Structure 1
Amino acid sequence: MFKRYFITLLLMAAAIGVLYTQYQTYTANPWTRDGQVRAYVIQVTPRVTGQIVSVNVTDNSHVQKGDVLFEIDSSLYKTSLDKAVATEKQSQALVRKAQNESNRAIELEKLTPGAQSVLTLNNLQNAVETAQANLLMAKAQVAEAKLNLAYTKITAPTDGYITNLNYRVGSQVVANSPVVALIDENSFWIDGFFKETDLKDVAIDNKAQVTLMMHDQVTLEGKVQSIGYGISKTDGSTGNSLLPNVNPNFEWIRLAQRIPVKIKLDKLPEDIQLRVGMTASVKILKH
């Protein structure tokens, strides 16, 4: 009988010891299953309006910085450039004409003093300056037309992955309206949402371990890059009839809020591809 009680007490002591050790480990190294893979998502936006005449990528494809994603019909912008060039040449001719007239009047005044009035000389000089200003405007219009023509080719601003591509040849795009998302492949990080009570003594550059749900047998190493300085307030937000929303809670229970912690991975194995929104578990090694 004594032996049976002794074994039972021994097992209970062992269980308590294990639980206490796990608790101490958790306290020293906070852990959460509420983690997500994040990355910067660039909204690829055309700067000119027109019809798509060529699409050079497919949905979920990898692109490199500078690759042409699609092209917009450039015929209208080529015509605008031709008009701007013609206007520039016309302005150059008007400048030469104004300068010739001004120079002729000045020479005539030198040969025969009083032959040209001061008002006439001033008006001719003003005509030269006006023609020169018109020439500058024409050159600016040429530069603008060249830019618009170049903008008909939409290029990738960085290396990454095209996602949610719904446009095809013949689709109409509007200037300054996003058409497709590009995920920057060099910007992936992990957001771990920890209870505020777990973040005491957590500091920048603390080591972290990340396990992806998709690759639960691999532990990724990283560091704490930053800790969020604020989260959205739920209570008090405007609801129906412009009344504030207030969530019911118990006075004797104080729920810890979750603060986002940004984890930057050190090195990613070649056989693992991060994808925005993937679920992850995160452990921070404070000591």
Structure 2
Amino acid sequence: MLKRFFLTAVLVLAALSAIGWKYQHYLENPWTRDGQVRAQVIQVTPRVTGPIVSLQVNDNSAVSAGETLFEIDPRTYQVALNQAKASLVQAQVELTKVQDEAQRQQELHKRGSGAVSISTLINVNKAVEAAEAGVMVARATVEQLALNLAFTEVKAPTDGFVTNLTLRNGSQVVANQPSLALVDRDSFWIEGFFKETDIHDVSPGELAVVTLMAYPDQPLKGRVESIGYGIAHKDGSTGVDLLPNVSPTFQWIRLAQRIPVRIKLDAIPENVQLRVGTSASVMIIKHPRTEQP
């Protein structure tokens, strides 16, 4: 009986010691289950308007920088470019014409005998300047319309993943309005939301251990990259009659605010695919510099 009591007491003490050690470890190294995988999401925006004639990607497909995503009907832009080129030729012909006339007037003036007045020379020189400006305008128009024609082929700005694709052949896209989302393949990070009371002495560069909910047996190492300097407050927003909207709170219940901490992963295993918005747990190992080589 005494032996059984002694064994039970030892087990209870061991359990309490383990709980105490774990709690102390938690106090020393902040931990949160409120973490998310984040990445830069590029809103691919066409520069011209028109229907899609060739959609070359599928939903959730991987693309490389410079790869064509879709092509907008180029015919109207090709016609406009051809017209601009014709206008440029006309402007160049007009410039040649006034230059020849100006040269003829200059030669007559050099011969003397008052055949050409000073005012006539001034006018022909101004005509040359105006024709030169017309050529410059026509050439700029050609360059602009050539750009518009090139913009009908929309390319991926970076390596990434197309997500939530709703476009189809024939879909009308509008200039300067986002058409699809592209997740930057090389921009993933972890956003952990820690209680303000836990990170007062956390510094960028400290070690972090990230456990993804999708890969619970593969903890990933990373570093604290930055700590947020502000969060939005619900109280004080404008409500009815332009008065501040303040929610009632109980003074004896005061929850710690959560501050976003950005974690940069050291390496991502090949079998781990990060996805924006998925859940993660994050533990920060405070002051790890003494353990670094």
TM-score where L is the length of structure 1: 0.96
Separation of aligned partners in 1, 2:9 and 2:106: 118
**What residue is the counterpart of 1:119 in the other structure?**
119
Could you report, residue by residue, the CA deviation over 1:218-240 in whole angstroms, capped at 9, with x for unpaired residues?
A: 10111111111110011111234
Separation of aligned partners in 2, 1:271 and 1:3: 51
Partner AA of 1:119 in structure 2: S
**What residue is the counterpart of 1:170 in the other structure?**
170
Separation of aligned partners in 2, 1:225 and 1:266: 11
Partner AA of 2:222 in structure 1: G
Could you report, residue by residue, the CA deviation over 1:101-148 in whole angstroms, capped at 9, with x for unpaired residues?
A: 111111001112422111111010000000000000000000001000
Q: 1:96 to 1:180 in 2, by over 3 A?
A: same
Separation of aligned partners in 1, 2:155 and 2:126: 45
In structure 1, the gaps of 5 or more residues are: none
**What residue is the counterpart of 1:56 in the other structure?**
56
Partner AA of 1:220 in structure 2: L
Could you report, residue by residue, the CA deviation over 1:59-83 in whole angstroms, capped at 9, with x for unpaired residues?
A: 0000000111110111100001101
Alignment of 1:188-207 (within 5 A): 188-207=188-207
**What residue is the counterpart of 2:41 in the other structure?**
41
Pairing 1:14–2:39 present? no
Partner AA of 1:89 in structure 2: V
SS in 2 for 1:14: helix
**What residue is the counterpart of 2:260 in the other structure?**
260
Q: 1:5 to 1:251 in 2, by over 3 A?
A: farther
Runs of 4+ in 1 over 6 A off after TM superposition: 1-5
Greater Cα shift, 3-12 or 18-27? 3-12
**What residue is the counterpart of 2:221 in the other structure?**
221
SS in 2 for 1:204: coil
**What residue is the counterpart of 1:247 in the other structure?**
247
Separation of aligned partners in 2, 1:7 and 1:170: 77
Separation of aligned partners in 1, 2:234 and 2:172: 40
Partner AA of 1:106 in structure 2: Q
SS in 2 for 1:70: strand
Pairing 1:131–2:131 present? yes
Give the drift of 1:164: 1.1
SS in 2 for 1:216: strand
SS in 2 for 1:198: coil
Give the drift of 1:185: 0.6
**What residue is the counterpart of 1:98 in the other structure?**
98
**What residue is the counterpart of 2:108 in the other structure?**
108
Query: What value does the CA root-mean-square deviation take over the aligned residues?
Result: 1.6
Q: Number of residues paired by the alignment? A: 287
Alignment of 1:78-97 (within 5 A): 78-97=78-97
In structure 2, the gaps of 5 or more residues are: 288-293
